[in-house]
Amino acid sequence: MNTNTEDELRAMVQRSTAQAARAEWLTSQESSEAPLFDYRYDHVAQVVSVAKYISEREGADIDLVVPAAWLHDISKPAMGGVKEHAKASAEMSRDILTRLGYKQDTTAAICDIIQKHEGLTLGEPLAPLEAQILWEADKIVKLGVTGLFHYVLAGIKLRPGRSISDWYHDLVGFLGLADRIAASMHTTTGRELAYERLSVIRATVEALGKEVSP
C-alpha cells in the first residue's frame, strides 16, 4: 500500500477514536462515585500486605510496621509527588497516632520508620529492621505484575495518549531501575520477593516486545 495513503488512513482513524475514547473516560467517571482507579490507596494496601509478609518471616515488630505502612504516604493521597513526602507523612502521622491513643514512644518509633522510607534505591540497610521492611515493601510493589499494572494505570493519568508500543518502550527503560531496586533489598525475604517479581516483569516486558514488534 502507498505509504502516504496508509498515513492518511491512520490519522483519520485516530482522530475518530481519540475523540470517542476521551468521551468514554469522562462519561465513565461522571457516572461513578468510585474513582476509575485509586492508585494511591491500592499502592498503600499492597505495601501493607507485603510488609506484613516480610515482618512475619523476619521477626519484626508488626505492631510498628503495620501502622507505618498504612500511613507512609498519608501526605500524598494523589499520584503527584510531594517534596520530602516521607518527612511530611511522618509529621502528619504523629498527630493521627496521638489522636488514636498511641503512646508517645510508640508514635515516635512509627514516625521514624515512615520518615526513612523515601528513595528508590538503597546502599546500606536501614535501622531499625522495621524501617528496612517498610522501605522494601514500598519498592517491591513497584515490581512484578502489580508494578506493571500500577505503572500503566497511573500513567494513563500522568501521561495520557500513550499507545501499547509506547508503554513497551517505557518499560524497557524501567528495567534498569528495577534491577537496582531489587539489588537494594537487605532482608532475605525481601530479596526473594524482589527477584521473583523482577523475573516476572522482565519476562512480561520481553513477551510484550514480541507482540508489539512481531
pLDDT of residue 11: 84
pLDDT of residue 18: 82
Asked whether the beta carbons of 79 and 40 are under 8 A apart, the reply is yes
Q: Which domain holds residue 161?
A: 39-212
80: left (phi over 0), alpha (psi -120 to 50) or beta: beta
Residue 45, in any domain of the structure: yes
pTM of the model: 0.90
Asked whether the beta carbons of 36 and 29 are under 8 A apart, the reply is yes
> The domain that contains 48 carries what CATH number?
1.10.3210.10
Residue type, 127: A
Asked whether the beta carbons of 143 and 178 are under 8 A apart, the reply is yes
Residue 29, in any domain of the structure: no
Q: Residue 103 gets which letter from DSSP?
A: -
C-beta neighbour count of 126 within 10 angstroms: 19
* Residue appearing with cell numbers 465513565: 28
Residue 23, in any domain of the structure: no
Residue 140, in any domain of the structure: yes
Residue 2, in any domain of the structure: no
Residue 107, in any domain of the structure: yes
Residue 201, in any domain of the structure: yes
* Residue appearing with cell numbers 522495621: 130
Cα–Cα dist 46/51, whole Å: 8
Give, for 185, the enclosing helix (H) or strand (E): none
Residue 125, in any domain of the structure: yes
pLDDT of residue 1: 64
Asked whether the beta carbons of 196 and 144 are under 8 A apart, the reply is yes
Tens place of pLDDT for every residue, the chain, 214 residues? Answer: 677 788 887 888 878 888 888 888 888 888 888 888 898 999 999 999 999 999 999 999 999 999 999 999 999 887 776 778 999 999 999 999 999 999 999 999 999 999 999 999 999 999 999 999 999 999 999 999 999 999 998 888 888 888 999 999 999 999 999 999 999 999 999 999 999 999 999 999 999 999 997 5
Q: Total structural domains in the chain? A: 1
The grid coordinates listed for 157 are 493519568
